[in-house]
């Protein structure tokens, strides 16, 4: 027994020595003179585990120790983290000066090398132009909003007297609504196979890029392959069909003179995946959290319901929400902004250096990522008085939306191009939900705010007619 204890102690000391040596080696590897202060964690893994588990607390602790600009190693790459508002603005506005998109390798591998978040320069201009043409105000008004209205009206039609998981429903809603806009006729037939694979793809984008069985990264890569097959078959079927379509896919595939942006099949597929991915995360989570916050604040729900009832009273029951109905939804827009701010759907954006550069007096090597961490701006009391209160009225002052610290939808040249489309989708969903139903939560389910806003066990509500 004594010998066993001695061996156990020796093994422990050896393991501790190896761990200490590995940590020391990794710190020395990234100890070049002029680098920002900070810690780098383990080789390969870095501080990813602490970052994903502790989230905002990890960032606050590092800032307390090293200041608002520090180094770390997260999501598989050495990273400089900026929590300085002035520096953040400079980084976001200067893509031409060597600060290009720097999304994690897992995201690039799974979303595709042609997705708009990965490309820059002339390619980004081409892809962004093609995307903006799909979601312009004219397209929303004439083609997309009628599809959104029809979908939302039907999607919530049978919720009366049911207990539903609003998290699961808003996920389905965001995905299926986007799919209908992309491939209107075929959306129903491909949704059953497409949707579960898409959910795996989403989980894989925010993971360490280590291709091992059972990892979210491996599942995401497999899901991408299946999705590629589905979309290739869809494009092939469209090419062999003489029938005309009016949806996003038809526009992307169009070869006529009205389409200035001619894309290859690979670019079309990555564009579709990008549209689904970017809209899914923001629309689903904002919709879920809006339902949560409205439940917790009855006076705000009443104000919102008053706005939508006024719109509904001017229509027959079968009349849809139209483009001209969105503009009077000023309080709805305020609720959406306040939900996005308080829940912090987007924590920050990533850039990558194309050359060694100096920022805030420190040297950032070529190829490093820069994490523009914007989360704390959402809770700055100088910008948002009483920042932890859910107060949509603060957004009725239009100047707040135009101020330089407004980064809810990204910033600089990379502000989300689908901002207005997403607002139209959430507004239409809220319209049919709050004018038809009242609801109550049936359990105090836990909410997580990082790295994604989610309810691990779902968010269940009992719905009844209004």
Q: What is the pLDDT of residues 186-213, one digit of tens each?
A: 898 999 999 999 999 999 988 878 889 9
State the average pLDDT for the chain.
Answer: 86
Phi, psi of 283 (to 5 degrees): -70, -45
pLDDT of 274 strictly over 50: yes
Alpha-carbon distance 282 to 286, whole Å?
A: 6
For residue 452, how many other CB atoms are within 10 A of its CB? 14
Residue length, the chain?
A: 466
pLDDT of 273 strictly over 60: yes
pLDDT of 110 strictly over 60: yes
**According to the per-residue pLDDT averaged within each range, which of 17-21, 205-209, 250-254, 355-359 is highest?**
355-359
CB 133 within 8 A of CB 256: no
Alpha-carbon distance 117 to 127, whole Å?
A: 10
The sign of the CA dihedral 239, 123, 423, 160 is positive
Identify the pLDDT of residue 3.
Answer: 53
pTM for this entry: 0.87
pLDDT of 295 strictly over 80: yes
Phi, psi of 406 (to 5 degrees): -80, 95
Percentage with pLDDT > 90 across the chain: 49
Identify the pLDDT of residue 258.
Answer: 59
Give the pLDDT mean for 325-336: 95
List, for residues 49-59, the tens digit of each pLDDT value.
888 888 788 98
* All structural domains of the chain: 34-465 (1.10.630.10)
Segment among 319-323, 332-336, 372-376 with least mean pLDDT: 372-376
Classify the phi-psi angles of 241: left when phi > 0, otherwise alpha if psi is within -120 to 50, otherwise beta: beta
Tokens at 362, concatenated: 């420190």
Identify the pLDDT of residue 407.
Answer: 67
Identify the pLDDT of residue 293.
Answer: 97
Q: Which residues contact 269 (CB under 8 A, 6 or more apart)?
A: 112, 228, 231, 232, 235
pLDDT of 104 strictly over 90: no
Identify the pLDDT of residue 443.
Answer: 77
Using pLDDT thresholds of 50, 70 and 90, give the confidence band for residue 19.
very low
In what order do the strands lie in the sheet containing 460-465?
162-165, 460-465, 437-441
Identify the pLDDT of residue 134.
Answer: 82
416 marked as part of a ligand binding site: yes
Radius of gyration of the chain (CA): 24
């Amino acid at each position: 027994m004594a010998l066993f204890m001695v061996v156990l102690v020796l093994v422990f000391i050896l393991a501790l020595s190896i761990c200490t040596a590995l940590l020391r080696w990794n710190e020395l590897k990234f100890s070049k003179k002029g680098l920002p202060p900070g810690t780098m964690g383990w080789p390969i893994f870095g501080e990813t585990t602490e970052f994903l588990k502790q989230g905002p607390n990890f960032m606050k602790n590092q800032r307390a120790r090293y200041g608002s600009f520090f180094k770390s190693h997260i999501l598989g790459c050495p990273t400089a983290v900026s929590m300085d508002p002035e520096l953040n603005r400079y980084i976001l506005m200067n893509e031409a000066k060597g600060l290009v998109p720097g999304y994690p390798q897992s995201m690039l591998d799974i979303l595709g090398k042609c997705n708009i978040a990965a490309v820059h320069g002339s390619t980004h201009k081409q892809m962004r132009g093609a995307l903006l043409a799909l979601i312009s105000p004219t397209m929303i008004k004439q083609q997309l909003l009628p599809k959104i209205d029809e979908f939302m009206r039907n999607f919530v039609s049978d919720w009366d007297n049911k207990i539903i998981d609003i998290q699961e429903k808003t996920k389905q809603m965001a995905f299926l609504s986007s799919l209908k806009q992309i491939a209107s006729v075929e959306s129903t037939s491909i949704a059953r196979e497409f949707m579960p694979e898409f959910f795996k793809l989403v989980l894989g984008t925010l993971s360490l890029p280590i291709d091992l069985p059972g990892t979210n990264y491996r599942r995401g890569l497999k899901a991408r392959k299946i999705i590629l097959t589905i979309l290739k078959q869809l494009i092939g079927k469209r090419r062999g069909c003489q029938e005309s379509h009016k949806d996003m896919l038809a526009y992307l595939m169009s070869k006529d003179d009205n389409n200035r942006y001619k894309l290859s099949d690979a670019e079309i597929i990555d564009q579709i995946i990008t549209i689904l991915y970017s809209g899914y995360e923001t629309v689903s989570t904002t919709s879920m959290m809006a339902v949560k916050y409205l439940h917790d604040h009855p006076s705000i729900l009443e104000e919102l319901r008053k706005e939508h009832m006024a719109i509904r009273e001017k229509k027959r029951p079968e009349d849809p929400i139209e483009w001209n109905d969105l503009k009077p939804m000023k309080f709805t827009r305020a609720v959406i902004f306040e939900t996005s701010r308080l829940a912090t759907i987007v924590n920050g954006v990533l850039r990558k250096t194309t050359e060694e550069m100096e920022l805030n007096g420190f040297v950032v090597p070529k190829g490093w990522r820069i994490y523009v961490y914007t989360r704390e701006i959402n809770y700055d009391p100088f910008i948002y008085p009483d920042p932890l209160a859910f107060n949509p009225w603060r957004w009725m002052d239009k100047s707040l939306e135009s101020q330089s610290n407004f980064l809810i939808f990204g910033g600089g040249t990379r502000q989300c191009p689908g901002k207005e489309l997403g607002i139209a989708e959430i507004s239409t969903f809220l319209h049919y939900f709050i004018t038809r139903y009242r609801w109550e939560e049936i359990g105090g389910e836990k909410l997580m705010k990082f790295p994604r806003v989610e309810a691990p066990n779902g968010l269940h509500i009992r719905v009844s007619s209004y």
